[in-house]
Amino acid sequence: MNYKFERAAKTLAGEVFGLIVRRIQWMEESGIRQWNGTGYTSIYPLEYYEEKAQRGELYVLRDGSRVMCAAVLLEQDSRWRDSSPAYYVHNFVSAIPSGGAGAVFLEEVERLAQNNGKRYVRLDCAVGNAALNRYYEEKGYRMAGFCEEGGYRGILREKGVEERNCEYLCKDVMRRDIYRIPFDALAQETFGLSFENWYQDGFWEKTACPYQPYTLFIGGRAAANVSVSVMRVLLDGQMRTWVQLGTVMTAPEFRGQGFARLLLEEVLRDWDGRCDTLMLFANQTVLDFYPRFGFERQAQRQFERKISVERARSAEKLSMDSPADRELLEQFYRKKNPFSRLQVTDNYGLLMFCCGSFFKDFIWLLPDEEAVVIAEQDGKEWIIYDIYCSGGRDQDMMALIRQVTGAGSWNVRFAFAPKNTEGLKETEVDDPDNALFILRGTENPFAGEALIFPEISHT
């Protein structure tokens, strides 16, 4: 989803009114009393929303051309006794289902209030609507009194927004330009990498569990970040849920103030008990940092083999600039790696982040074998990152690799954990800038095992 928050044109009034009508029907069907039974559409007919749009008081949240959420924002409201600078939210409605659009809309209203010098965002909710009152409580809207109008009795609620300029934690960065762009700027500044083209090409959503940054904003600047990647991991034939933390970064001017700690603690609270394994990779400058939060360093084991090949290469390169080749890669990716003990599945989005940048020149098609091999030549060594094929009886891992390397004498290093290690040399991974850490109390399949986490799935 790519949300856009904006003032509504008059032409959108009809669509907003349609949301209201559908929401009232939903209230009737759900046994909830709020707008139903009050003559709401007579009090607020289509002409009302047209007038509010013309006055610049009707706001919408769109996903493409579809209105997902809408409300009227006023700067005065007789239901409230004081005249503190505020936006008063009225006729707040979302599509069914909304997919969390209501929360996004409220955050955008809070940001608008903040930018326009308001102290509060205020709204009201029917006394008897327990579910909606809980929702507003969870969003930080505290009870501030009661109001009565005709047969309606409501609870007044408000949220202060003055401090948001100082510090704001966003967990929904990718779908919203206002957050994603400064997050991406920090990633470029810190690591020299950008997520923007990957996002715009639709790969962020091409995964069962999209990449989720936790980003702290200060004065509109992305100050610090820790990202969560939820992964479906196939380990020795068993599917597990792992969480990998990555893109840990702090802008230079905000370092030394504890922001990385704050974000890490928030992530650990959110994911406590919700995954089988929680892990990360760290460089040598922070090896002493993560143990403070319960992470333990874990050794990995890798395999390699020397080979001599007489035949010329028969593999063909796939171009990631070609939509047809990208589609072909996706088809083979679904076949998985039949030769690997441990692999991340259902995460084509992550694969394309790598194959659209770091690995774009390393993707080889073996048309006769119906296989794709991701492999990089480094001098006299070939690094095998992944192999996608059906794994039928006639498919031999080393035979596939020989068709990629071509003639010569090579050292082949596996950047994944092969199932069959016969004839392979085992060594410990020695890379202090990619040290594996596992959170204590979560499953650690690496302990006592000759395993390596696939390098192509690092985040």
Q: Which H, E and C letters describe 256-321, residue by residue? A: CCCHHHHHHHHHHHHHCCCCCEEEEEECHHHCCCHHHHCEEEECCEEEEEEEEECCCCCCEECCCC
Q: Are 150 and 185 in contact (CB under 8 A)?
A: no
Whether the ω angle into residue 210 lies within 30 degrees of 0, i.e. cis, is no
Cross-strand partners of 245: 228, 280
Among residues 256, 268, 271, the alpha carbon closest in space to that of 223 is found at 256
Among residues 164, 146, 163, 166, the alpha carbon closest in space to that of 155 is found at 146
Among residues 178, 276, 286, the alpha carbon closest in space to that of 226 is found at 286
Q: What is the pLDDT of residue 164?
A: 45
Q: What is the pLDDT of residue 338?
A: 95
Distance separating alpha carbons of residues 241 and 264, to the nearest angstrom: 19
Tokens at residue 424, please? 């392979």
pLDDT tens sequence for the chain (459 residues): 678 999 999 999 999 999 999 999 998 888 877 787 778 899 999 999 999 999 999 999 999 999 999 999 999 999 898 878 899 999 999 999 888 899 999 999 998 998 788 889 999 998 888 888 889 988 889 888 888 887 778 889 999 886 444 467 888 888 888 889 999 999 999 999 999 999 998 888 777 677 899 999 987 789 999 999 999 999 999 999 999 999 999 999 999 889 999 999 999 998 999 999 999 999 999 999 999 999 999 999 999 999 999 999 999 999 999 999 999 999 999 999 999 999 999 889 889 999 888 899 999 999 999 999 999 999 999 999 999 998 776 679 999 999 999 999 999 999 999 999 999 999 999 888 899 999 999 999 999 999 999 999 998
Distance separating alpha carbons of residues 66 and 326, to the nearest angstrom: 29
Q: What is the pLDDT of residue 175?
A: 81
Q: Which H, E and C letters describe the chain, residue by residue? A: CCEEEEECCHHHHHHHHHHHHHHHHHHHHHCCCCCCCCCHHHHCCHHHHHHHHHCCCEEEEEECCEEEEEEEEECCCCCCCCCCCEEEEEEEEECCCCCCHHHHHHHHHHHHHHHCCCCEEEEEEECCCHHHHHHHHHCCCEEEEEEEECCEEEEEEEEECHHHHCCEEECCCCCCHHHHHHHHHHHHHHHCCCCHHHHHCCCCCCCCCCCEEEEEEECCEEEEEEEEEEEEEEECCEEEEEEEEEEEEECHHHCCCCHHHHHHHHHHHHHCCCCCEEEEEECHHHCCCHHHHCEEEECCEEEEEEEEECCCCCCEECCCCCHHHHHHHHHHHCCCCCCECEEEECCHHHHHHHHCCCCCCCEEEECCCCEEEEEEEECCEEEEEEEEECCCCCCCHHHHHHHHHCCEEEEEEECCCECCCCCCEEEECCCHHHEEEEECCCCCCCCCCCCCCCHHHCC
Q: What is the CATH number of domain 303-428?
A: 3.40.630
Q: What is the pLDDT of residue 89?
A: 97
Distance separating alpha carbons of residues 282 and 223, to the nearest angstrom: 20
Distance of CA 277 to the CA centre of its chain: 18
Q: What is the pLDDT of residue 277?
A: 97
Distance separating alpha carbons of residues 385 and 376, to the nearest angstrom: 8
Enumerate the CATH 3.40.630.30 domain ranges in the chain, comma separated: 3-162, 168-300+432-457
Tokens at residue 67, please? 């209105």
Distance separating alpha carbons of residues 386 and 418, to the nearest angstrom: 10
Distance separating alpha carbons of residues 368 and 388, to the nearest angstrom: 14
Q: What is the pLDDT of residue 184?
A: 95
Angle at 177 between CA 92 and CA 213, to 5 degrees: 100
Tokens at residue 78, please? 């007789």
Q: What is the CATH number of domain 168-300+432-457?
A: 3.40.630.30
Among residues 286, 272, 193, the alpha carbon closest in space to that of 228 is found at 272
pTM of the model: 0.67
CATH 3.40.630.30 for domain 3-162: yes
Tokens at residue 157, please? 């609620």
Q: Are 444 and 298 in contact (CB under 8 A)?
A: yes
